[in-house]
């Protein structure tokens, strides 16, 4: 040991001479990033927020199959640093314009002992965090290579409080846990039978975005940006050292990524702030993504929609058409199946949703279960499940196309592929052609089940490439896409703005048939899953208690109040928002539904007024091109008084504030559907105090008076 130590000291002395530390500061000097080679020539970085350490010196390493790794033995070949500052406008989003302002450091390191191979470590240091990635330049001795592992460290200085989800290669639909980092391993063992396809990585693995809070009030969020042609990253937690290490999703053979130089990894991102709202306001991940690849974007329409969907979640109807349970897509004559009479996607029922959408100005009607194959679609690792072009006998695609058009409504296509992606890829071209021929302009895809190619995972490189391919192919066909059960998003909606939303987390429907989502769930999601992009959470359930629909729903309910469901349209950002409940329930509570009719889905401005992960969140947003504001305020299981200053309103102007609040005795468990709607005239000097029930919330619309 001693011998080795002294060797290292000598080496350190020598190397320090050639490799001094490189430090850059963020534009306003809030953050400092230091790059340094270790005595063994290992690249390391360190991140500070003022005097406070965000990340202690941490190694950066990518290991390769059948050749030396990019991990050590480096010397510095070149250092570049530059300032970048510009502003860009997203096709749609939370704000009209986004400033992209950072100091960049690009360090080229070289391995004398490995054919002088070079690697570039590129850091972009913003005032609200850092993004860095590995770049593999084209060079004589590196062309095709296989990543066997990436060992990026995030060594935290203390045992932070963590808002985390179990690391898994196939699902993002666990509940979140809130523990200290050192408690992750012990807490991870809870069974989650409601998730059918799970591949847990191990007891110490967590997913990104990982939200952390230090004892001294520093908020740190770790994720990745622009995940393309690479597997998703999870993090392995060392409870003793508070060190995190990247863990990539493997392919069927155990390898991680097949790359061809020039190539690079996604950006590893660390968003830092001394207050929680600033984390939610960060545009760092979007800034690290490539600009839109689509030039013509006029056909992309943020929208609200209803759907033949919740009625299946609550056992009122079914996706399937018959009780047959042994379907062979190529052989079964679906017109000969005996209908069981509970098939929800029948022409008459779909027309009811079209009528409702048309009457209420919602743009879309999603229909699930319209196409043949649902009788035994799940759980068999079966390749030929759906063909995406054949409707059930009771779904009249031509008549519904005509009818929807007459009501100025668009049907939204549904492409559940049950994880059989080889089958979906074979059929994508005819499926999209079918959509164009039948007036569809948006598709919800689904990946419920084990992936085919067998041995691949939802989060592996092959699937990551698939999701991007779907975004590209739908864009080529002028189709918008909403992906369910994909890898967690990383800001790619900037690059492919037709990729409106993803699920990729535990949505509202878990309330219908599992232990459900905890009342704090929606206060954590914005700090975790939503850091990567919009979520199709499917809010708007007004009939909170679900017993009434079917015996198997006994005790099931949504774990919020009705008013909180309204607030989610603002707190859970998405350009695609479902009004998920049944038309008949909205008819019963039409006064509350007015908020859903009114609320925008595209915004010129957004302010996070108050936030604490796991506790509460209040957000207000200005509708695109209008002086209308919409506010959502939610709490966890605890009741809260939320004061709100209205100084975001235009000075000198009067507004009608319509407040959709929890009723007096409202409580998510005991009295969830009590709500009260009040109106008052306000100005930018007014203030409101919103009373949030346990598990409750409030929604407010502000419309200018003439």
Give the C-alpha separation, 679 to 626, whole Å. 20
Q: Which residues contact 555 (CB under 8 A, 6 or more apart)?
A: 547
Q: Whose Cβ is closer to a second copy: residue 143's or residue 679's?
A: 143
The smaller minimum CB distance to a second copy, of residues 67 and 275, is found at 67
Nearest approach, Cβ of 439 to a second copy (angstroms)?
Answer: 22
Judged by beta carbon, residue 27 or residue 453, the one nearer a second copy is 453
CA distance 87 to 351: 45
496 to 92, 224, 478, 602: CA distances (angstroms): 11, 17, 11, 16
How many angstroms separate the CA atoms of 522 and 529, rounded?
A: 10
Strands 62-64 and 129-136: unpaired
The residue to which tokens 């409030």 are assigned: 698
Residue 517's nearest CA partner among 483, 560, 547, 555 is 560
CB of 376 to a second copy, least distance (A): 8
Q: Is 225 exposed, middle or buried (0-12, 13-18, 19+ CB in 10 A)?
A: buried
Residue 34 class from Cβ within 10 Å (0-12 exposed, 13-18 middle, 19+ buried)?
middle
Q: Which is nearer to a second copy, 25 or 426 (CB)?
A: 426
Tokens in use for 592? 């509350």
Cβ closest to a second copy, residue 466 vs residue 506: 466
Q: Is the peptide bond before 127 cis (omega within 30 degrees of 0)?
A: no
Closest CA to 500 of 517, 483, 514, 520: 483
Distance, CA of 437 to CA of 434 (rounded, Å): 5
Interatomic CA distance for residues 54 and 33, integer angstroms: 10
On whether the CB atoms of residues 459 and 170 are closer than 8 A, the answer is yes
| Shortest Cβ 300–a second copy spacing (Å) | 23
Residues 6+ positions from 262 with CB-CB distance below 8 Å: 135, 136, 137, 138
In the complex with a second copy, the residue whose CB is nearer, 370 or 462, is 462
Distance CA 325, CA 322 (A): 8
Positions touching a second copy (CB under 8 A) are 138, 143-144, 146, 251-253, 255, 258, 260-261, 325-326, 328, 376, 380-383, 422, 425-426, 428-430, 453-456, 462, 465, 469
Q: Which of 158, 136, 153 is closest to 247 using CA atoms? A: 153
Rounded to the nearest whole angstrom, what is the least distance from the CB of residue 418 to a second copy in the complex? 13
Residue 18 burial by Cβ neighbours in a 10 Å radius (0-12, 13-18, 19+): exposed
* β-pairing verdict for 410-416 and 364-367: parallel
- Find the shortest distance in angstroms from Cβ 122 to a second copy: 20
**Helix, coil or strand: residue 632:** strand
The CB-of-141 to a second copy minimum distance in angstroms stands at 12
Return d(Cα 531, Cα 505) in angstroms, integer.
Answer: 12
**Buried/exposed code over 555-566 (b: 16+ C-beta within 10 A; e: otherwise):** ebbbbbbbbbbb
Catalytic residue (one of 509, 520, 522, 628): 509
Please report how close the Cβ of residue 280 comes to a second copy at its closest, in angstroms: 35
Residue placing its CB nearer to a second copy in the complex, 477 or 622: 477
Comparing CB distances to a second copy, the nearer of 227 and 411 is: 227
SS3 211: strand
CA distance 267 to 490: 9
Is the CB of 239 or the CB of 453 nearer to a second copy? 453
Active site residue 628: no
Give me the phi and psi of 583, to 5 degrees please.
-55, -35
Q: Check: CB of residue 443 under 8 Å from CB of residue 372.
A: no
Nearer to a second copy by Cβ, of 427 and 621: the residue is 427
d(CA 389, CA 395): 12
| Spatial CB neighbours of 345, under 8 Å, sequence gap ≥ 6 | 308, 319, 367, 368, 369, 370, 392, 394, 395
Nearer to a second copy, 198 or 514 (CB): 198
- The residues annotated as belonging to the active site are 509
């Amino acid at each position: 040991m001693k011998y080795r130590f002294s060797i290292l000291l000598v080496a350190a002395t020598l190397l320090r001479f050639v490799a001094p530390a490189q430090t850059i500061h963020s534009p306003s000097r809030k953050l400092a990033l230091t790059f340094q080679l270790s005595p063994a020539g290992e690249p390391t970085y360190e991140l500070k927020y003022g005097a406070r350490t965000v990340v202690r010196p941490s190694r950066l390493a990518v290991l390769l199959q059948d050749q030396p790794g990019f991990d050590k033995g480096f010397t510095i070949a070149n250092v570049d640093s530059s300032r970048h500052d510009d502003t860009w406008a997203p096709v749609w989003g939370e704000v009209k314009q986004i400033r992209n302002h950072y100091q960049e450091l690009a360090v080229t390191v070289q391995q004398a002992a490995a054919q002088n191979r070079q690697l570039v470590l590129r850091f972009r240091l913003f005032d609200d965090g850092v993004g860095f990635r590995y770049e593999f330049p084209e060079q004589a001795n590196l062309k095709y290579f296989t990543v066997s592992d990436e060992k990026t460290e995030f060594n935290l200085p203390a045992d932070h409080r963590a808002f985390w989800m179990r690391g898994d290669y196939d699902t993002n639909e666990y509940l979140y846990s809130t523990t200290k980092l050192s408690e992750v391993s012990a807490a991870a063992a809870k069974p989650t039978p409601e998730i059918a396809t799970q591949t847990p990585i191990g007891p110490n693995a967590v997913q990104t975005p990982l939200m952390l809070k230090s004892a001294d009030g520093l908020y740190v969020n770790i994720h990745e940006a622009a995940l393309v042609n690479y597997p998703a990253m999870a993090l392995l937690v060392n409870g003793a050292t508070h060190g995190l290490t990247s863990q990539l999703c493997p392919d069927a053979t155990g390898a991680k990524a097949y790359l061809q130089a020039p190539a690079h990894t996604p950006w590893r991102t660390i968003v830092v702030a001394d207050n929680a709202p600033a984390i939610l306001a960060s545009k760092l991940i979007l800034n690290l993504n490539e600009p839109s690849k689509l030039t013509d974007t006029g056909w992309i329409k943020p929208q609200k929609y209803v759907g033949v969907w919740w009625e299946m979640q609550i056992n009122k109807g079914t996706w399937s058409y018959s009780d047959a349970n042994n379907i062979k897509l190529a052989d079964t004559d679906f017109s000969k199946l005996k209908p069981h009479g509970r098939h929800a996607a029948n022409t008459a029922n779909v027309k009811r949703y079209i009528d409702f959408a048309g009457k209420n100005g919602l743009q879309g009607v999603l229909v699930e279960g319209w196409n043949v194959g649902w009788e035994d679609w799940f759980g068999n690792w079966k390749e030929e499940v759906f063909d995406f072009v054949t409707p059930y006998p009771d779904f009249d695609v031509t008549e519904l196309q005509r009818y929807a058009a007459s009501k100025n409504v668009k049907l939204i296509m549904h492409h559940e592929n049950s994880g059989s992606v080889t089958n979906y890829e074979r059929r994508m071209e005819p499926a999209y052609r079918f959509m164009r021929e039948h007036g569809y302009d948006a598709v919800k895809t689904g990946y419920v089940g084990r992936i085919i190619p067998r041995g691949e995972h939802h989060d592996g490189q092959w699937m990551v490439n698939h999701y991007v391919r779907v975004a590209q192919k739908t864009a080529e066909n002028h189709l918008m896409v909403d992906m369910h059960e994909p890898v967690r998003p990383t800001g790619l909606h900037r690059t492919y703005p037709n990729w409106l939303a993803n699920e990729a987390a535990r949505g509202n429907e878990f309330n219908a048939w599992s232990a459900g989502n905890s009342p704090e769930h929606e206060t954590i999601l914005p700090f975790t899953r939503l850091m990567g992009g919009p979520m199709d959470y499917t809010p708007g359930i007004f009939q909170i208690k679900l017993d009434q629909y079917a015996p198997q729903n006994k005790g099931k309910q949504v774990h919020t109040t009705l008013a909180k469901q309204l607030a989610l349209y603002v707190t859970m950002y998405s350009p695609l928002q479902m009004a998920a409940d049944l038309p008949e329930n909205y008819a019963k509570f039409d006064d509350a539904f007015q908020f859903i009719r009114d609320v925008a889905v595209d915004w010129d401005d957004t302010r996070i007024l108050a936030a604490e992960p796991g506790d509460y969140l209040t957000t207000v947003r200005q509708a695109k091109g209008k002086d209308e504001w919409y506010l959502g305020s939610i709490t966890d299981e605890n009741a809260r008084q939320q004061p709100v200053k209205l100084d975001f309103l235009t000075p000198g102007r009067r507004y009608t504030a319509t407040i959709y609040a929890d009723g007096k005795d409202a409580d998510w468990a005991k009295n969830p559907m009590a709500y009260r709607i009040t109106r008052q005239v306000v100005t930018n000097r007014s203030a409101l105090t919103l009373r949030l029930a346990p598990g409750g919330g409030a929604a407010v619309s502000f419309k200018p008076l003439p």
